[in-house]
A and B are shown apart, each in its own frame.
Chain A
Amino acid sequence: MSILGFSCTVLITWEATLILFLSGFQNGGPAGVIYGFLLVWFGTLSVFATLSELVSMAPTSGGQYHWVSMLAPPSSSKFLSYITGWLTVGGWQAAVASGGFLTGTLFQGLIALTVPNYQPKSWHGTLLFWAVIFFAVFVNTVISNLLPKFEGLILILHILGFFAIMVPLVVLGEHGNASNVFTLFLNGGGWPTQGISFFVGLLGNVFAFIGADGAYHVSNCLPNPIPWAALTMT
């Protein structure tokens, strides 16, 4: 339960697609966002399946660099494993920084939304970022015993929040027409072809799904990874 919560909250798929909506919308448009989401969903599922085969072979907290070291030819095993370790650490470090940054600026956005004459400054974002990171440290250290319960709670919020946002939007909002939504591709980046624009815009969706290997690093006993994976990603 708490691992499911953990995966869900690290991925926060539906929330992140909203947060990172801009990049897909500029490159790809509404239709691009939808088909991009499907493509990325399918791709992530495949990546997850492959990683699950690996986790099933060697369930270690090291993850990628351990797998690389056992799969690579002996002559280059150590070296490749080392590089992979750095890439993973670097990638995760960057993910924390982006998580803190997005959350910090979300708070800033909330302030801008509710306080009409607020002038956003980028150093406000940095201070909010620090506040977010320190909150994360607090949860991870001082009350770390409560972390599993915390994750369970967030899982509930993750599911209920989906409806809490979906329902008002659908009921209160004015609806566009379906042909626009499903067929309107935009090329806001000024790329030579729509195809390039679509792929460039995929990045927002991709980022929404990032962190799929998080659960592997935290828990090394996922009994049956694939159903979990599929659940997390809806």
Chain B
Amino acid sequence: MILAVLFCIGDIDSALSTSTGYPFMEIFLQATNSVAGSAAMAAIITVLALCATVGLLASTSRMFWSFSRDRGLPGWRTLQKVFSTTQPFKSRSTNNLLQVNVRTSVPIWSVAATTVISCLLALINIGSVTAFNNIVSLAVVGLFTSYLLASGLLLYRRCTNTIKLSSESPIDLVNAPNAPLVWGPWRFRGFFGIVNNTFTCIYLTVILLFSLWPPATPVDASTMNYSSLMLGAVLIFSVAYYVLYARKEFQGPVLETQRPNFSDST
């Protein structure tokens, strides 16, 4: 797709300075010479982007829900409530811990929280597009930092050989804080696993580093990339909140997994 578009760029300058704000619309227009045709093509993308937002909201509200169930967020008592159309909670046959069933229950307060925060963030756009763009890049920075922490620790455990095969660990409680670690049914074995894991960490580090750079030089206050500031703000806030309050509330994740019922395939 990207190839097709790159081949069809006619007049680059007019594409980049298009009044629509999106060069691809101008490229469509140049390629098809028809406003109706390119509007239809652009509408497909717009509808898909709309649906992606639906999915993003679903994911985010589940993330809010999960973290407040573990007492990580302020107001977790409310945020963890779910609204269900059939039964209040579904308990799994394997364990009796509460589990939201995506098809029947909606973490209604988490959805509300996500919505309100998003709508407030949208107000920033009126004042400054730059400030808003930094929230966009916070998505990359925040998520990639969390990936990097998890993958980095996995690499450390992998190299120190702390993760055992399921059959080697006689204890029932595994893969929880202070419990033995066992591999799941799916993994890369041996050397290739280390290579892949190392590549993951390097890739994440490189991208993280460059996502903090502004898009163009010379840089002034209005074109600066403030995502390092945003990242710092989230970090400082969460550390402060942890030290002052959450240290007592947050007890680590609720145990969701008991020993999985699988045999090692080796």
Contacts of A213 on B, CB cut-off 8 Å?
143, 147
Most chain-B Cβ atoms within 10 A of its Cβ — which of A25, A61, A129, A211? A61
Determine if A66 and B146 form an interchain contact, defined as CB atoms under 8 angstroms apart: no
B7 within 8 A of A: yes
Determine if B45 and A50 form an interchain contact, defined as CB atoms under 8 angstroms apart: no
Determine if A103 and B122 form an interchain contact, defined as CB atoms under 8 angstroms apart: no
Q: Given that A10-B59, A19-B22, A78-B252 are contacting pairs, would A71 and B181 also be in contact in the complex, using a CB cutoff of 8 Å? A: yes
Per the 8 Å Cβ criterion, residues 100-124 of A in contact with B are 100-110, 112-114, 120, 122-123
A230 within 8 A of B: no
Determine if B184 and A91 form an interchain contact, defined as CB atoms under 8 angstroms apart: no
The residue from A74, A81, A130, A191 contacting B253, defined by CB atoms under 8 A apart? A81
Contacts of B206 on A, CB cut-off 8 Å?
199
Determine if B150 and A84 form an interchain contact, defined as CB atoms under 8 angstroms apart: yes
| 0 or 1 for each of A128-161: is its CB under 8 Å from B? (1 = yes) | 0110111111011100110110110010011001
Contacts of B67 on A, CB cut-off 8 Å?
62, 65, 85, 88-89
Q: Which residue of B lies closest to A118 (CB)?
A: B19
Determine if B186 and A226 form an interchain contact, defined as CB atoms under 8 angstroms apart: yes
B51 within 8 A of A: yes
- Give Cα A189–Cα B171 distance, bound, in whole angstroms: 57
The residue from A122, A126, A211 contacting B59, defined by CB atoms under 8 A apart? A211
Total A residues in contact with B, Cβ cutoff 8 Å? 149
B89 within 8 A of A: no
Determine if B178 and A218 form an interchain contact, defined as CB atoms under 8 angstroms apart: no
Determine if A74 and B143 form an interchain contact, defined as CB atoms under 8 angstroms apart: no
- Give Cα A152–Cα B35 distance, bound, in whole angstroms: 30
Per the 8 Å Cβ criterion, residues 127-163 of B in contact with A are 129, 132, 135-147, 149-151, 153-154, 156-157, 163
Determine if A91 and B53 form an interchain contact, defined as CB atoms under 8 angstroms apart: no
Determine if A33 and B2 form an interchain contact, defined as CB atoms under 8 angstroms apart: yes
Q: Given that A61-B62, A96-B53 are contacting pairs, would A19 and B184 also be in contact in the complex, using a CB cutoff of 8 Å? A: no
The residue from B35, B73, B106, B200 contacting A144, defined by CB atoms under 8 A apart? B106
Contacts of A99 on B, CB cut-off 8 Å?
49, 52-53, 56-57
Interface pairs A-B: 5 shortest CB-CB: A91-B142, A56-B184, A173-B31, A173-B8, A91-B143
Give chain B's interface residues, CB within 8 Å of chain A.
1-10, 16, 19-25, 28-33, 35, 37-39, 41-67, 70, 72-73, 83, 85, 100, 102-104, 106, 108, 111, 114-115, 117-119, 121-123, 125-126, 129, 132, 135-147, 149-151, 153-154, 156-157, 163, 175-179, 181-188, 193, 196-197, 199-200, 203-204, 206-207, 210-211, 213, 215-218, 234-235, 237-239, 242, 246-247, 250-253, 256-257
Given contacts A57-B163, A175-B7, A218-B102, 14 further A-B contacts (CB under 8 A): A50-B154, A58-B257, A79-B242, A89-B60, A91-B140, A93-B114, A107-B46, A110-B39, A154-B48, A174-B31, A175-B8, A181-B7, A213-B143, A218-B58
